[in-house]
Amino acid sequence: MSKSYLVAHIRVHDKEAFEKFKAMSGPAIADHGGRVLARNPSPDFREGDLRGLTIVNEFDDINAARGFYESEAYTAARAVRGNRC
């Protein structure tokens, strides 16, 4: 199967909550075989309005990516992040 990529654009409004989210989401990514390929707080935007932190995660296949996103661990991390990050 083909590799799968999860791309996130996050605007951090609460640094403390975001740090907790990072600490929780990192192990959840690894548990599903994912790897963080890029985490850039200052990407070079040429078009559009995707300001904020850009993160690219790679997974071995779409099922691993979905398993990560739907996992209990990442669901808990998203709850911490909420709308505050």
- pLDDT tens for 41-64 read 777 778 887 778 889 999 999 999
Count how many residues are written for the chain.
85
pLDDT at residue number 12? 87
Bridge partners of residue 65, in order along the sequence: none
Domain ranges for the chain: 4-81
Nearest one of 26, 36, 25, 34 to 65, comparing CA atoms:
34
CA–CA gap between residue 75 and residue 38 (Å, rounded): 22
Q: What band does 11 get if pLDDT is binned at 50, 70 and 90?
A: confident
pLDDT given at position 67? 97
Could you tell me if 68 and 49 are in contact, meaning their C-beta atoms sit under 8 angstroms apart? no
Question: What pLDDT is attached to residue 51?
Answer: 75
For residues 41 and 84, which has the higher predicted lDDT (pLDDT)? 41
Q: For residue 35, give the DSSP letter.
A: E
CATH of 4-81, one of 3.40.630.30, 3.30.70.100, 3.40.50.300, 3.90.1150.10: 3.30.70.100
Residue of higher predicted confidence among 3 and 52: 3
Q: Would you call 42 helix, strand, or coil by DSSP?
A: coil
Residue with tokens 């390929």: 37
Distance separating alpha carbons of residues 31 and 52, to the nearest angstrom: 26
| Mean pLDDT confidence for 31-36 | 96
